[in-house]
Structure 1
Amino acid sequence: MNIKQFITGAVTLVFALIGAAKAQNVYPAKAEDISPLLIGEQLPSVYLTDAAGSIFELNKALAAKPTILIFYRGGWCPYCNLQLSGLQEIEEGLKNTGYQVIAVSTDKPDNLKQSMEKGKLSYTLLSDADLNLAKQVGIAFKAPEAYQKMLVGTTGGKDTDMLLPVPSIFILNRSGEIRFEYIEPNFKERISPELLKAVAKALYKDL
């Protein structure tokens, strides 16, 4: 075997191993071990579902104005509900600055609607029930066993890999480029609404 054949074989093996890993849906077992997209990287182009069950082209929405994109676990999470309420309190100020607020979770559309009604939320909630977006952003990890039975119901059975997103916030420009991110593996810890508002205001002139 010559060098060229060896290199070709090695490259083929690497791609085969990557393909096998993806096929086996290998995701971190711990929230601390995720590998998220970094500042300067681009959000992937995806279609999600809104609270009415309609298809939502995320990247088309992002192109309209700078966006504060929140990933939360679901309406069943009390810490997430507190975060959603805090966002509602500052949403008017964020809109006046020039932002739109979009929050994404594993919830199916019916559950999104319940969260909107319960929290009197005026911003957009989207369903990533199969975690397609969370996987591509690199914030998906294996849900603890205690959550798995519950996730079957809240996602409408779409979370077949039994994953959860690490709660995260991304501030994006109109090109979908990440300009700020706050990712906290401890789901009990969230950035305060006041701090988020201050960061968003400071960043806006450069978006």
Structure 2
Amino acid sequence: MTLQSKLDAFKADFEAGKPPYNVPPSVIATMRRATAELIASGAATRALRAGDRAPAFTLRDPDAQPVSSADLLARGPLVISFYRGVWCPYCNMELQALQEALPSFEGLGASLVAISPQTAANSRKSVRHNTLGFPILSDPHNDVAAAFGLRFALPDYLVDLYMSLRNDLPAFNGDASWTLPMPGRFVVGQDGVILYAEVNPDYTRRPEPEDMLPALRRAASVPA
């Protein structure tokens, strides 16, 4: 079963209000409106693309240890996944799919990191919940996401909805700005150039992990 088929199945049950979700139609309508407006804004077209140079970053893992993109690229190509947080079921399914694909990435000499704006405590929860064997990094204020062109501010009506659902992003992220990253997946070569980029303003749509393998194979064939 592909990652997207799992996401589609979850979405169908969630939007149908099946137990245990029991979500009223008004909530679904508000979420759809926000996604449609983000798509219409063209925000995704301003994200970095293949051929662009990836911004360098140093972020902290759940144990407060710094993780540098330069250090990771010194070892081989780098796969980066930006996700919204442990509170997002679509993100958790994506992280699990990436974990399943991790041996394939490592077999091609690549490292994998996932980046979200959430606090270290919630990153630790991501690792536990999804049984992950790769680093989860905290991106305060979504600054690195912004450098990749992914950060956006939630509209006021969506903030109101999240608060009514007790989805308190300032508490999750330790940041009062109410911003999130659009889900994004990147493969970066050792020279710092992006070889693969997939960004979707619809958070229910995610690329398959296997989609990155051609780029990783090309990177593996180029001497560092």
Q: What range describes the TM-score normalised by the shorter chain of this pair?
A: 0.7 to 0.9
For 1:187, give the aligned amino acid.
Answer: Y
Could you tell me which residue of structure 2 aligns to residue 201 of structure 1?
217
1:119-147 CA-partner distances (Å, limit 9, x unpaired): 11001110113111011111111123234
Post-superposition shift, 1:195?
Answer: 3.0
Q: 1:83 touches 1:190 (CA, 8 Å); kept in 2?
A: yes
For 1:30, give the aligned amino acid.
Answer: L
SS at match of 2:85: coil
Post-superposition shift, 1:194?
Answer: 3.2
Residue 67 of structure 2 corresponds to residue 33 of structure 1: no
Could you tell me which residue of structure 1 aligns to residue 179 of structure 2?
163
Residue 146 of structure 2 corresponds to residue 128 of structure 1: no
Q: 1:30 touches 1:142 (CA, 8 Å); kept in 2?
A: no
Q: 1:71 touches 1:168 (CA, 8 Å); kept in 2?
A: yes
Post-superposition shift, 1:114?
Answer: 1.1
Separation in 1 of the partners of 2:70 and 2:210? 27
For 1:164, give the aligned amino acid.
Answer: L
Separation in 2 of the partners of 1:61 and 1:80? 23
Residue 97 of structure 2 corresponds to residue 79 of structure 1: no
Which is greater in Rg?
1
Could you tell me which residue of structure 2 aligns to residue 65 of structure 1?
76
Picking from 176, 179, 185, the partner of 2:195 is 179
What root-mean-square deviation, in Å, do the aligned CA atoms of Structure 1 and Structure 2 show?
A: 2.0
Number of residue pairs the alignment of both structures matches:
177
Q: Which runs of 5+ in 2 are unaligned?
A: 1-36
Separation in 2 of the partners of 1:62 and 1:198? 18
Structure-1-length-normalised TM-score: 0.77
1:36-87 CA-partner distances (Å, limit 9, x unpaired): 1222221222221111122322333223210111101111100000000001
For 2:42, give the aligned amino acid.
Answer: D
Could you tell me which residue of structure 2 aligns to residue 20 of structure 1?
none
SS at match of 1:30: helix
Percent identical residues: 27
Separation in 1 of the partners of 2:78 and 2:218? 14
1:125-179 CA-partner distances (Å, limit 9, x unpaired): 10113111011111111123234761111112x2x33211010100001122111
Post-superposition shift, 1:117?
Answer: 1.3
SS at match of 1:68: strand
Change (3 A) 1:185 1:206: farther
